[in-house]
Structure 1
Amino acid sequence: MTAWLAIIAPAWIAGSILGLLSAPLGCLVLWRRMAFFADALAHGTLLGVAIAVWWQLPTGIGIAIVSVLVVLGLILMEDERLPTDAVLAVVAVSLLCLGLLTLTQLTDQQANVLGFLFGNLLELDWADLPLIAGSVLVGLVFLAYIWPAQIKLATHEALARIQGVDPTKQRLFFMGVLAGFCAIALQAVGSLLISGLLVLPALTARLWSTAPKQMVVFALIIAQVGVTLGVWSSIWLDIQTGLAIVLVLAVLFFMALLTTKIATKIRT
């Protein structure tokens, strides 16, 4: 048991730390209706990693380059004839294909593709935890700084403008936090599953909560439960840790949806 804990504990702690940022950030993603953008940015991390490996740059710089290009590209692609969700879906799948193509054809990372797609949290050790904790702390501090303005924009954008909130600047701030989270979460759940870790705890919490603060608290609890059960079940079932975490979160969501529907039927 002690030997297992030596392997699992760093992954478990790292995932729990990530949950502290993913829960409130996921709530904002839902309130601001930016789930599709988060998905596109998450898929873009794979291309960012590929560029970083190809040009021999730090991974964070590669992801930052792609994030900036995604934001600029979406601004240029704005067209009233095109539904935003459809544009984001096209961007997401294009980034995923480009990332896979670059990784497999222009780098020597073919053997690591599954890890980039689905994460490999169990490869983390104790030495990685300070960097993860520090990065999450910076993200939480910055999120707390922009939180009041983000809530105003999510509630009523026109009123927020009157109160002096700059939507463009706040949108860029929010995209920056999202990009940072994607970079941190890449090893935990991989490019394909980042949006699941981000959205599922908040979506489940939304079914049970009646106020924004309550939703954030519930999302934090659900994220911790999902990470804990996911890490341990990945060991028992011998599957990718990222897959296990997101699958547990998905099960929790569907259980919550079913129970709330049954409760509603009983009350009526």
Structure 2
Amino acid sequence: MLVEWLDIIAPAWIAGSLLALLSAPLGCLVLWRRMSFFADALAHGTLFGVALAALLQLPFGVGIALVSVMVVIGLMWLEDERLPSDAILAVVSVSMLCLGLLTLTHLTQMQANVLGYLFGNLLEVGWSDLPILSACVALGIGFLIYIWRQQVILATHTDLAQVSGINATRQRLFFMGVLAGFCALALQAVGSLLISGLLILPALTARLWAHSPKQMVIFSVILAQLAVTGGVWGSVLFDIQTGLAIVLGLAIAFFMAFIVSRAS
């Protein structure tokens, strides 16, 4: 019996742990660069990307990539001194969500899968999915390491970045590309609505206790791994959605850490 359970749970557990290795440092950069709303817009855009791919009979990755490019171009076009940037991002985010839901439920034959795309279904990951996921995560981490120094400088010392000759526009596009790739990978794990939670919550909790960027990344990785482990096993024990269990665990950890930090 235990072997049968492990055959279902183990691939999901490994997949979630792999995603946590990428989500934790990426979430730290999202916080440092103050791009949480942008991450949310991209996360919601993945839903429309899946719907668009299904409608045009394209691979899901192609649809998500197309929508990610559309989001970036749309945000550049919508830049206006009269409009707050966070409000624009909120509009784009909710628009992507509505377009995705509308397309999935009315224009494709994927109505039955809507909940899975909204909240994820990590337990559907099989052993055959792990090699591709591992390669994609390794590629994402490798590229993140390559751009890490420039990204941190841009987030913390804008003047130093200019003096160092760092191309801010190119680095922003690099960062958006990694973020879009992560959203595509995390869609099955936690769904379009919860991707930003998996990204932000570990980094936000770690920020309460960390005294350096390196510590913040390490704490984020540990928290994300614990949340994935607790979420996967908790979803089986309590019969709840895996993505919901993971993100809810992260949210509880944040509020507990916040209360303790305020009391100390």
Q: With the length of structure 1 as denominator, give the TM-score of the two structures.
A: 0.97
The within-5 A match list for 1:93-242 is 93-242=94-243
For residues 12-51 of structure 1, give each alpha carbon's deviation from its aligned partner in whole angstroms, at most 9, with x where no partner exists.
Answer: 0000000000000000000000000000000000000000
Match of 1:255? 256
Return the offset for 1:237. Answer: 1.3
Counterpart AA for 1:102: T
Match of 1:41? 42
Length, aligned pairs only: 263
For residues 134-176 of structure 1, give each alpha carbon's deviation from its aligned partner in whole angstroms, at most 9, with x where no partner exists.
Answer: 0000000000011010011001112201110011000000000
For residues 186-226 of structure 1, give each alpha carbon's deviation from its aligned partner in whole angstroms, at most 9, with x where no partner exists.
Answer: 00000000000000000000001000000000000000000
Return the offset for 1:236. Answer: 1.2
For residues 36-89 of structure 1, give each alpha carbon's deviation from its aligned partner in whole angstroms, at most 9, with x where no partner exists.
Answer: 000000000000000011111111100000000000000000001111111101
- Quick one: distance in 1 between partners of 2:73 and 2:153? 24
| Partner secondary structure for residue 253 of structure 1 | helix
| Partner secondary structure for residue 82 of structure 1 | coil
- Quick one: distance in 1 between partners of 2:115 and 2:239? 15
- Quick one: distance in 2 between partners of 1:4 and 1:255? 31
Consecutive unaligned residues of structure 1, counting only runs of 5 or more, are 264-268
Consecutive unaligned residues of structure 2, counting only runs of 5 or more, are none
The runs of at least 4 aligned residues of structure 1 exceeding 6 Å deviation read: none
- Quick one: distance in 2 between partners of 1:157 and 1:186? 33
- Quick one: distance in 2 between partners of 1:104 and 1:135? 29
- Quick one: distance in 2 between partners of 1:116 and 1:170? 30
- Quick one: distance in 2 between partners of 1:9 and 1:207? 32
Return the offset for 1:239. Answer: 1.0
- Quick one: distance in 1 between partners of 2:76 and 2:203? 27
Counterpart AA for 2:142: V
For residues 77-118 of structure 1, give each alpha carbon's deviation from its aligned partner in whole angstroms, at most 9, with x where no partner exists.
Answer: 000111111110110000000000000111000000000000
Counterpart AA for 1:234: S
| Partner secondary structure for residue 208 of structure 2 | helix
Counterpart AA for 2:26: L
- Quick one: distance in 2 between partners of 1:256 and 1:51? 40
Q: With the length of structure 2 as denominator, give the TM-score of the two structures.
A: 0.99
- Quick one: distance in 1 between partners of 2:9 and 2:160? 48
Match of 1:54? 55
